[in-house]
Amino acid sequence: MTFASHAFPRVLETSIFRIGLDDSDKAHLGSLGFILRRYPPHAVISRQGDGEDRIFVIHSGWSCISTDLADGERQILDFPQKGEFVASRAFEGEAPESFTAQTELMVFEAPAKAFVAGLAHSPSLAGVLLGAVARQRAILVQHLTNLGRRSALIRTAHLLLELGVRLEKANAAKKYGFECPLTQYDLADALGLTAIHVNRMLRELRERGYLEFRHGSVHFLNREGLEHFAEFDAGYLRLPGET
């Protein structure tokens, strides 16, 4: 009994894999070789172009998945949260994305090969994985829509609302908001803006009485109003099978 075999089932309870698996599936998941690892802040866990063959389940801490551009800029694709899984292109081929820790980060890791091979023995696990992949896709699609067709102000609000809901689903939010160690530069790289403009947008949201983002935590002041203003509908964050 390693540390991992203790902690892993516990994380599953609030994870993306919590729905649709019976005990034997979960036992099976536990046998796929997930081990718990720790990365320090700013550690690059996998770099764009690597031949990557691990899959990850977040245990705690913040990280980001990003593409790196030629001129040194980056586009952040997502901030995966506790219980969510990361497998940029683990299902074969080189990783077109980087995975970087932002705070101290604890993740469960397993070799992708073992994981994929394991799917053949557990149809319900395969189904749950497809559901999780579909949810990731929906998140990416909303992000893309944000960048393409929404104003900077709404875009910023939308991202913070989304993170709020995802953290709630992972039981990692507070009643009024959530802890968020992201800098305004991080937000800018996710939102396709400059950090200066993000600062303006946060001020605007504060002045309009929607939310405060100070000292590393987001505090919703008028969440319902904000959701309406940002045309935010959390439906896309629901897991298949979740009510």
Residue 202 is a binding residue for DNA (CB under 7 A): yes
Beta bridge partners of 54: 111
Which of 153, 157, 211, 218 touches DNA by CB under 7 A? 153
* Position 197 contacts DNA (CB under 7 A): yes
Task: Give the separation between CA 173 and CA 243, rounded to whole angstroms.
Answer: 20
**Cβ-based nearer residue to a second copy, 225 or 241:** 241
Binding mask 72-111 for a second copy (x = CB under 8 A): -xxx-x-----------x-xxxx-xx--------------
Rounded Cα distance between 96 and 114, Å, is: 21
Beta-strand ranges (E) seen in 79-222 are 85-86, 98-101, 105-111, 177-179, 211-214, 217-220
Please tell me whether residue 69 binds DNA under the rule CB under 7 A.
no
Does 243 bind a second copy (CB under 8 A)? Our answer is: no
Q: Does 238 bind a second copy (CB under 8 A)?
A: yes
* 55 close to 115: Cβ distance less than 8 angstroms: yes
Query: Under the criterion CB under 8 A, does residue 116 sit at the interface with a second copy?
Result: yes
Nearer to DNA, 113 or 200 (CB): 200
Q: In terms of C-beta distances under 8 Å and separation of at least 24 residues, what long-range contacts does 25-28 make, across chains too? A: 25/122, 25/124, 25/125, 25/128, 28/118, 28/121, 28/122, 28/125
φ and ψ of 98, to 5 deg:
-105, 150
Per-residue x/- mask for a second copy, residues 128 to 167, rule CB under 8 A? --xx-xx-xxx-xxxxxx-xxxx-----------------
Amino acid at 12: L
Least distance between a second copy and beta carbon 229 (Å):
11
Our finding on whether 191 is near a second copy (CB under 8 A) is yes
Q: Is 192 in the site for DNA (CB under 7 A)?
A: yes
Binding site for DNA (CB under 7 A): 151-153, 183-185, 192-197, 199-200, 202-203, 214
